[in-house]
Copies of this chain bind each other. A is one copy, B any other.
Amino acid sequence: MIRAATIIDDRQPALQRLAALAPLDAEVIDTIVAAAGQAQTIRARRELVSEGREIAEPLLLLRGWAARVRLLPDGRRQFLSFLLPGDVVGHCPQPRPVAVATIVALTDVLVCAAPPAAPGSVLGTVYAVGDALDQAYVLAHVTRLGRLNAQERIGDLLLELHERLTLNGMARGTSFDLPLTQETLADALGLTSVHVNRMVQQARRENDLQWKGGRVTLLDPPGLARKIGRVPVRVSATVGPQPARAR
């Protein structure tokens, strides 16, 4: 029974996130649960997808963190985006798609094949909204890197992660587990780990956040968002995490 409970726990964040993208019916839930039954674990640091290689099939991330990353010839590294439970990776409609970035597991990760979906079906809508969100997060990342300073970049990324982890139920209020080293964060934010460290300390001093032992608490998310001029993501008028709201 403990075993079963654990498995259900594993699926819960992914299911919750998919359900947030579009209302799921029982049939779709069954499809996803069935796919999740064939899940496999991949160890931290292993590659899920390799840049330049053909993509086999889209995957649904059930547990753990992954990231899209690009390595430069001279060893510099840039994380392009973080992938959380409920995210679908490698969903490309063109024929014989080739991966334009490597996807690497940041923690041990549980993945299953993403069930195929007809365009226009419920699941098709879920994937479409998920893809749109992915793209929106990448665009937000461009702005972060291009026009925010170090302190703003850190705050902005943590707010985004909190938003996404709230969506899939992995946040507890304003706290969440952050299984990233400061070096990883630096390679996502276009900074050095030394500077990330200094700016995190400053954020702690300014009572923007706590961060100890892999767990982050944002002390005032709306205040922080105001401080760095962040607006939440919205990709559809009818569905998704940011419901329409009167002006």
Q: Which residues of A contact B (CB under 8 A)?
A: 52, 54, 68, 70, 72-74, 76-78, 80, 92-98, 100-101, 119, 124-125, 128-129, 131-132, 135-136, 138-139, 141-143, 145-147, 187-190, 229, 233-239
Closest approach, in angstroms, between the C-beta of A25 and any C-beta of chain B?
A: 16
Partner of A233 from B100, B131, B190 at Cβ < 8 Å: B100
Task: List 23 A-B residue pairs with CB atoms under 8 Å apart, sorted by A's residue number.
Answer: A68-B139, A70-B139, A70-B143, A72-B147, A72-B229, A73-B229, A76-B147, A78-B147, A80-B142, A92-B132, A92-B235, A93-B119, A93-B132, A94-B128, A94-B131, A94-B235, A96-B237, A98-B237, A100-B135, A145-B146, A145-B190, A146-B190, A147-B190
Residues of chain B within 8 A (CB-CB) of A93 are 119, 124, 128, 131-132
- Report Cα–Cα, A118/B52, bound state, in Å: 28
Closest approach, in angstroms, between the C-beta of A162 and any C-beta of chain B?
A: 19
Residues of chain B within 8 A (CB-CB) of A135 are 100, 135, 138
Residues of chain B within 8 A (CB-CB) of A77 are 147
Q: With A73-B229, A119-B119, A132-B94 as known contacts, state yes or no: A139 contacts B237, CB within 8 Å.
A: no
- Report Cα–Cα, A233/B125, bound state, in Å: 28
Contact A146 B78 (CB under 8 A): yes
Closest approach, in angstroms, between the C-beta of A28 and any C-beta of chain B?
A: 16
- Report Cα–Cα, A146/B100, bound state, in Å: 17
Closest approach, in angstroms, between the C-beta of A124 and any C-beta of chain B?
A: 8
